Amino acid sequence: MDFREEYSKKHTLVENAIKRILERYNDCPATIYEAVKYSLFAGGKRIRPVLLLSAHEMVDGDLDESMDLACGMEMIHTYSLIHDDLPAMDNDDMRRGKPTNHKVFGEGIAVLAGDSLLNMAYEVFLENSLRYPDKLLNHIKAASIIANAAGIHGMIGGQVVDLEMEGQPAEPEILHYIHTHKTGALIEASLRAGLALENVENEAHTAIAGYGKRLGLAFQIIDDILDVTGDAAKMGKKTRSDEAHKKVTFTVVYGLEKSRRMAEELIEQAVGELDYFGKKAQFLKEIAYYILRRQT
């Protein structure tokens, strides 16, 4: 199977699984159901769930077992985007080519839609773990990796520093902290959680974390580059938004060319980390190159 086919197959599996999970909530108040559904199905790339499933598959895991974790990860990601777009944060009107959640449903409902998605993720993790009593510890470990990465030691910590640093002089160390936490943490956690579901050697955990850290940072460097050079129509949101918010970014600190080179180097190193897994790592290696050439 070629890369596109494989990605699209996993994307569809995630799409269908999220739909099935959401149906369990269709008896809740209609407004919040619609608000949650609107952002969950606004056309995301589903990169984090695809990474989680692929890491699990690489160590011979059964995708039925990791699917709910993958969907929960996408719910956490979607919540973060809804909240990030709010007037109190980045105040963005468009996301994925559509009006942002608060533009359609109002700020109060958008806050609650984000909260609902975050809560839903942990409901899904806990319910799923009960289906695997023999592997309860693996499931708790995987959920705990994700919870940690989404919290103040991870994404929220990065977002706080990102907000605080707006308009401040760009220091490389702070930039690194923001990017590895705000964006990198969930990407790395997706991969580590996929592995945590199976009992693998310590070297495997080290290799996947090495891959995930580099991939996550490269993902955000590419995001910084696309914010300057990307096509707003293709991306479905305003470009040059970092400049407007006076954000600390790689392109500000290192310039476009050096940022691109740094992303390329990180991707090569990330791919190298996967050699540990031999041929089974082929798809994750290809995802790394996909991230490097992404236009959206």
Most distant pair of Cα atoms in the chain: their distance: 52
State the virtual CA torsion across 53, 158, 138, 24 in degrees, nearest 10: -60
Establish if 183 lies at the interface with ligand GRG (CB under 6 A). yes
Binding region for ligand GRG (CB under 6 A) out of 9-17, 43-51, 131-139, 255-263: 43-51
Establish if 47 lies at the interface with ligand GRG (CB under 6 A). yes
Q: Is 195:55 a contact under the CB 8 Å cutoff? A: yes
Binding region for ligand GRG (CB under 6 A) out of 22-30, 42-50, 101-109, 189-197: 42-50
CA distance 205 to 280: 15
Establish if 103 lies at the interface with ligand GRG (CB under 6 A). no
Residue 266 CB, nearest distance to ligand GRG (Å)?
Answer: 15
Residue 150 CB, nearest distance to ligand GRG (Å)?
Answer: 8
- Give the interface size with ligand GRG as a residue count (CB under 6 A): 15
Taking the least distance from each CB to ligand GRG, the nearer of 65 and 286 is 286
Helices 172-179 & 202-229 angle (0-180, nearest 10): 110
What is the residue-wise DSSP string for the chain? --HHHHHHHHHHHHHHHHHHHHHTTTTS-HHHHHHHHHHHTS----HHHHHHHHHHHHTT--HHHHHHHHHHHHHHHHHHHHHHHSTTTT--SEETTEE-HHHHH-HHHHHHHHHHHHHHHHHHHHHHHHT-GGGHHHHHHHHHHHHHHHSTTTHHHHHHHHHHTTTS---HHHHHHHHIIIIIHHHHHHHHHHHHTS---HHHHHHHHHHHHHHHHHHHHHHHHHHHHS-HHHHTS-SSHHHHTT---HHHHH-HHHHHHHHHHHHHHHHHHGGGGGGGGHHHHHHHHHHHH---
Taking the least distance from each CB to ligand GRG, the nearer of 85 and 198 is 85
Work out which of 140, 156, 228, 262 binds ligand GRG, going by CB under 6 A.
Answer: 156
Taking the least distance from each CB to ligand GRG, the nearer of 135 and 294 is 294
Taking the least distance from each CB to ligand GRG, the nearer of 207 and 288 is 288
1: which 2 tokens? 């199977």
Establish if 182 lies at the interface with ligand GRG (CB under 6 A). yes
Q: Which residue is nearest to ligand GRG (CB)?
A: 44
Establish if 83 lies at the interface with ligand GRG (CB under 6 A). yes
Taking the least distance from each CB to ligand GRG, the nearer of 155 and 266 is 155
Taking the least distance from each CB to ligand GRG, the nearer of 188 and 223 is 223
Work out which of 180, 220, 249, 251 binds ligand GRG, going by CB under 6 A.
Answer: 220
Establish if 80 lies at the interface with ligand GRG (CB under 6 A). yes
Binding region for ligand GRG (CB under 6 A) out of 81-89, 104-112, 134-142, 165-173: 81-89
Site for ligand GRG in 235-264 (CB under 6 A): none
Binding region for ligand GRG (CB under 6 A) out of 22-30, 39-47, 257-265, 277-285: 39-47
Residue 76 CB, nearest distance to ligand GRG (Å)?
Answer: 9
Which parts of this chain interact with ligand GRG (CB under 6 A)?
A: 44-45, 47, 80-81, 83-84, 96, 155-156, 159, 182-183, 220, 223
